[in-house]
Homo-oligomer: A and B are copies of this chain.
Amino acid sequence: MIHDPRTSIIDKRLENVKNIIAIGSGKGGVGKSTFSSLLSLFLNKKGYKVGLLDLDIYGPSTHLILNAEDKTPQEEYGLKPVDINGIEFMSIIYFTQNKPLIMRGKELTDTILEIFAITRWNNLDYLIIDMPPGMGEVLLDLIKFIKNLQFIVITNPTKIAMETVEKLIRFLKESNYPILGLVENMKNKDGTFVKEKCKELNVKYLGHISF
């Protein structure tokens, strides 16, 4: 039987990473990338060693927020993430010249496996993973291949966003994947709708960020 050697090296590549936190939502445009970037900057400033991995393969954004476009990962027994003011950073844009990259789900799996197999993170306190919208390969493969993965879920305070975010939360809860909590982003008026949803779904409300 043919065997893919990448799946067994992933644990080793992440063995010196203390916390792996995926920033997810299910919904697009709620601020996953903004929050992932700001959280990385914040933790780094607090003195933690931080890595940021952009796994939104179709629509990477964190390179823009961190102004990380003009660097390149160095080849050294694999690929060393780029150093952005002390944050170790990896994104698909280093391989696409930021051009359109279309692909089907099976290939998303291969892309993610390859990135994990060849990226050599240093010792990290936190690896933050910026996720794409949707509940397909990126979500399912992170769950499948990454041990000790934790989630922070992010939403905005609209019924439309929460409709989809609730689906991600229910899926994670039903499958017993740990959710650190929910962040309410883009809050532009008073309201307790999201807080109440958190209670209903039994998820910790971590706080809000104003619009």
Task: Report A's interface with B, CB cutoff 8 A.
Answer: 26-30, 33-34, 58-61, 64-65, 98-106, 108, 132-137, 139-140, 156, 159-161, 163-164, 167-168, 170-171, 174
Q: Are A167 and B104 in contact (CB under 8 A)?
A: no
Contacts of A135 in B (CB 8 A): 58, 100-103
Contacts of A133 in B (CB 8 A): 28-29, 58-59, 132-134
Number of this chain's copies in the complex: 2
Between-chain CB contacts (< 8 Å), 11 pairs? A29-B161, A58-B134, A59-B134, A60-B164, A61-B164, A99-B167, A100-B135, A100-B170, A103-B135, A104-B140, A105-B106
Q: Are A26 and B58 in contact (CB under 8 A)?
A: yes
Complex Cα distance, B61 from A106, in Å, reads: 26
19 further A-B contacts with Cβ under 8 Å, apart from A27-B28, A104-B137, are A26-B58, A27-B29, A28-B28, A29-B30, A29-B156, A59-B133, A59-B134, A59-B163, A61-B160, A61-B164, A64-B160, A64-B163, A99-B167, A100-B174, A101-B167, A102-B140, A103-B136, A105-B105, A108-B136
In the complex, the chain B residue whose C-beta lies closest to that of A26 is B59
Given A58-B167, A65-B160, A168-B100, decide whether A136 and B27 contact each other with a Cβ distance below 8 A.
no
Shortest A141–chain B CB gap in Å is 9
Complex Cα distance, B133 from A132, in Å, reads: 9
Interface centre among A28, A99, A102, A139 (most CB of B within 10 A): A28
Shortest A30–chain B CB gap in Å is 6
Shortest A190–chain B CB gap in Å is 19
